[in-house]
Amino acid sequence: MHRVDTSSAAESLPSPEPAGTPGFFTKGNPSGGPIATVPGQDWFNMVQEELIAVVEAAGLTPDATKADYTQLTQAINALIADAVSSGGRLLDVQVFSASGTWTKPAGCTSALVQLVGGGGGGGGSGTTANRGAASGGAGGYAQKHITSGLGATEAVTVGAGGTAGAATGNGGNGGTSSFGAHVSATGGTGGVVGSTQASGGAGGSGAGGDLNVNGPSGAPTNITQANSGNGGSSFFGGGAPGASGEQTGNDAGNFGGGGSGGCTTDSSAVIGGAGSDGVVVVYSYG
């Protein structure tokens, strides 16, 4: 690949002419028109410079001897090889919404793992009038690009969502999600019963990742009104909306969200909402 070097070639790139209307080439009709398309200097320079840019991006020098007709092919192959060695192309995506086993795809050299623990359940309202229970915390989040030590298979654990608090009980804690021994995230803590002033369930935390994020806490108890706040929303969202009046807590949605607390206007106790299960997502590259 080389730039044009005939005696009529310009020494520097000419300024482009004003833009025209985009169109297509035609051979024309000499007997009555239209005339054949003349590409013009701008089109030829654009094609030349686009091709030269690919060659130079691969670290090659355009061939001044005019003897090498494979430089563009060499450049494309080199750029592809560089992309593969620096992370590779995406081979596969597996989403685990339940515990299982990840099997390494053929040619896989690294994996990007995202996971979140289970969300905590919301507490029950208790038997005191005009109370709202605490809501559950969200599961923690972790992300890791694993470039070495991947087994042919890896155990995948998806943390279960915390159970809804019984009418006079606390919400259950969310379970821990993990990918082998590489990376994990704990679940959110369940919200407490709405009998006394208390904080919402704490969020879980990531561990072993390149990025580790604590899940948000759930809303605290409400000891003056029959209202409960939202459950904690995980990295993937899903925190349950709060309840009001004489209402059971709402279950969380998505992955790793906290359930909301139950609330009561009288002494009739109601249950809280359940937290949602976590998730493990594995992107395989090679």
What's the pLDDT tens digit per position in 24-67? 999 999 888 889 999 999 999 999 999 999 999 989 899 889 88
Residue range 117-124: average pLDDT?
98
Nearest-angstrom CA–CA distance, 249 and 163:
11
User: Which are the contacts of 195, defined by CB distance < 8 A and separation ≥ 6?
Assistant: 126, 127, 128, 131, 168, 221
Q: Quick one: residue 75, left, alpha or beta (phi over 0 = left, psi -120 to 50 = alpha)?
A: alpha
CA distance 78 to 62: 15
Q: Is a pLDDT exceeding 90 seen at residue 156?
A: yes
Report cis status (omega within 30 of 0) of the bond before 105.
Answer: no
Q: What is the pLDDT of residue 184?
A: 98
Which residues, other chains included, contact 260 with Cβ-Cβ below 8 Å and sequence gap of 6+?
122, 135, 136, 191, 218, 219, 228, 229, 230, 231, 239, 240, 241, 242, 243, 249, 250, 272, 273
Q: What is the DSSP letter of 109?
A: -
Q: Is the pLDDT of residue 129 over 90?
A: yes
3-state secondary structure of 103: strand
Q: What is the pLDDT of residue 87?
A: 59
**How confident is the model over 189-199, as a mean pLDDT?**
93
The pLDDT of residue 167: 96
How high is the mean pLDDT of the chain?
A: 93
Cα–Cα dist 189/276, whole Å: 12
- Say if residue 79's pLDDT is above 70: yes
pLDDT at residue number 69? 87
pLDDT of residue 1: 83
Q: How confident is the model at residue 75 (pLDDT cuts 50, 70, 90)?
A: confident
Name which of 224, 229, 230, 261 is nearest 125 in CA terms.
261
pLDDT band (50, 70, 90) for residue 85: low
Interhelix angle 40-57/71-85, rounded to 10 degrees, is 50
Per-residue pLDDT, 84: 60
**pTM above threshold 0.75:** no
Q: What residues contact 54, with CB distance under 8 A and at least 6 apart?
A: 72, 75, 76, 79
Report the pLDDT averaged over residues 16-31: 91
Which of 124, 141, 137, 151 is CA-nearest to residue 247?
124
Span 196-253, pLDDT tens digits: 889 999 999 999 999 999 999 999 999 999 999 999 999 999 999 999 999 999 999 9
d(CA 184, CA 207): 5
Give pLDDT, residue 271.
98
What is the distance between the alpha carbons of residues 273 and 257, in angstroms, rounded to a whole number?
Answer: 11
**Mean pLDDT of all residues in 84-97:** 82
Burial of 94: CB neighbours in 10 Å, binned 0-12, 13-18, 19+: middle
Task: Write the CA distances from 130 to 169, 218, 221, 245, 263, integer angstroms.
Answer: 17, 19, 11, 8, 7
Look at residue 31 in the predicted model and tell me its pLDDT. 87
